[in-house]
Structure 1
Amino acid sequence: MAAGARIALLIDADNAPAAKIGAVLNDLATYGECNIRRAYGNWTKPGLKGWIEELHPAAIRPMQQFDLTTQKNASDMALAIDAVELLYAARPEAFAIVSSDSDFTPLVHYLREKGAAVYGYGRAMTPEPFQSACTKFTVLEQLDEDDDEDDGVDQPDAPSRRRGPVPTAELKGNSGLVRLLRSAIKAAAGEDGWATVQQVGHQIRNQSSLDWRNYGYGTLTKLLTATELFELKDEGTPQVAVRDPREGRH
């Protein structure tokens, strides 16, 4: 997505931690300008007090939705309706949905079918259908405001909830991740077997939705290095190259 793209941030306050909003806004700044910011919930509930304290400092507009029954709130439906309205009225290039609720999966499919990117943010326990539907999904437990920027790649099969990098043995044991990395390197490689990490990231981007930081690594290069399965070299340029040694030497 082009720099400076307009992003609509829609927050399911009932299913998202207020303490992470600063990190989310910081992350979205790498994609474009987040000039539509709304949080949905029943603001009469004591449980949303943490969010109330964050709304004004973060310039987020509170959208009030009273609970219609004792077991279900109306916030999810209101968020979905507003997203569709914004798609045609404000026409943002992308949406950011902060929630751990899989009920938003059909909405994400719809927005992407209409050409909008969708960046999801949720807890590690967020159901896989919602994570996979997003253009990119970031686990909030792994998101810090001072995270490094990356050359851009998403991953499958997010690890269990944790802080810090996933150890090498666990990375090697993640067959989905290893298979994806190997196939991407092979597809992007030249005749000599080498591909730039940027090319590998581009190859993977259309296959996976999760954020590399979900594994505790700030860049794809660091993740590739940590697996200890690939050769990497830096020839004094901004590009780092990678090769799968199983493909043989040329």
Structure 2
Amino acid sequence: MTDEKRIALLIDAENAPASKIDVILAEVARYGTANVRSAYGNWKSPSMQPWEDTLHTYAIRPIQQFAYSSGKNASDMAMIIDAMDLLYTRSVDAFAFISSDADFTPLVMRVLTDGLKVYGFGERKTPAPFVNACSQFTYVEGLGQPSAESNGTESQPREPQKLRGDARLMLMLRSAVEAASGDDGWAHLSEVGSQIGNQASFDSRNYGYTKLSELVEATGMFQVKRQDLSVYVRDGRKA
């Protein structure tokens, strides 16, 4: 019997697109089994209709929260309380949060202190603090087919010049390659990926590239070689 991770999938339905739930669930399945699936919101609101149509299809439990007072988000509070309950009972091994709301950043940081991974999913409007706090954050526009609103631009590969101009990305890649490299400067790509995962939230698809190897090659700043079904990279400056 395999030891598969139990993942709690908690959805801020008021700040997440229902149209992407199928590809998000497929993505979560790469990391484990979503044995807890809950969506939070005021289900009496007409804006929640798109989510209502998907709840039964994907076995997601709706959690009703009324707006008790103006300016207060009861749904966020309910989601945070349930997450903390799951954390304390140790009934899950990881969390997946679907939201574009930075208010969940402290929750993510709290979960991380207990050694559990947090997979985040949200739209490109998601504030950086929430994106960077997650173990891995994936923009939903990069999953599946481009949405009509994005006109396909969200999943287009970023140009090499723009990649090289992204100081955070380049520092992250170079640091990971250096940490994983041997005396000859070459590093196994899988170890580079692990190093990046330890540094910050990262997903090559957020830059328009399906694989890390494609992103690394696109920058034009690294040497890449393939040998015996393995991929190795080296900082181009050390060639």
TM > 0.5 fold call: yes
Q: CA RMSD in A?
A: 1.5
- Greater alpha carbon shift after TM alignment, 206-215 vs 86-95: 86-95
TM-score relative to the length of structure 2: 0.93
For residues 82 and 18 of structure 1, the distance between their equivalents in structure 2, rounded to whole angstroms, comes to 21
Give the equivalent residue in structure 2 for 1:37.
37
Match of 2:195 among 193, 199, 203: 203
Count of matched residue positions in the alignment of Structure 1 and Structure 2:
231
| 2:154 counterpart letter in structure 1 | R
Deviation at 1:20, TM superposition (A): 0.6
Is contact 1:15-1:99 (8 Å) kept?
A: yes
Give the equivalent residue in structure 2 for 1:100.
100
- Greater alpha carbon shift after TM alignment, 2-11 vs 16-25: 2-11
For residues 190 and 86 of structure 1, the distance between their equivalents in structure 2, rounded to whole angstroms, comes to 41
For residues 113 and 143 of structure 1, the distance between their equivalents in structure 2, rounded to whole angstroms, comes to 29
Give the equivalent residue in structure 1 for 2:230.
239
For residues 4 and 238 of structure 1, the distance between their equivalents in structure 2, rounded to whole angstroms, comes to 26
Give the equivalent residue in structure 1 for 2:214.
222
Deviation at 1:218, TM superposition (A): 0.7
How do 1:56-75 and structure 2 match up within 5 A?
Answer: 56-75=56-75
What SS does structure 1 have at the residue aligned with 2:137?
Answer: strand
Deviation at 1:189, TM superposition (A): 1.1
Give the equivalent residue in structure 2 for 1:150.
none
Deviation at 1:16, TM superposition (A): 0.2
| 1:242 counterpart letter in structure 2 | V
What SS does structure 1 have at the residue aligned with 2:199?
Answer: coil
The answer on 1:169 being equivalent to 2:157 is no
Deviations 1:64-84 (A, max 9, x none): 000112333300000000001
Deviation at 1:37, TM superposition (A): 0.1
TM-score relative to the length of structure 1: 0.89
Give the equivalent residue in structure 2 for 1:48.
48
- Greater alpha carbon shift after TM alignment, 164-173 vs 40-49: 164-173
How do 1:143-162 and structure 2 match up within 5 A?
Answer: 143-144=143-144, 162=154
Is contact 1:231-1:245 (8 Å) kept?
A: yes
Is contact 2:196-2:202 (8 Å) kept?
A: no
Unaligned residue ranges in structure 1 (runs of 5+): 146-160
What SS does structure 2 have at the residue aligned with 1:206?
Answer: helix
For residues 154 and 161 of structure 2, the distance between their equivalents in structure 1, rounded to whole angstroms, comes to 16
Deviation at 1:227, TM superposition (A): 0.7
Unaligned residue ranges in structure 2 (runs of 5+): 146-152
For residues 224 and 207 of structure 2, the distance between their equivalents in structure 1, rounded to whole angstroms, comes to 19
For residues 189 and 202 of structure 2, the distance between their equivalents in structure 1, rounded to whole angstroms, comes to 17
For residues 183 and 91 of structure 1, the distance between their equivalents in structure 2, rounded to whole angstroms, comes to 35
Percent of counterpart pairs with the same letter?
50
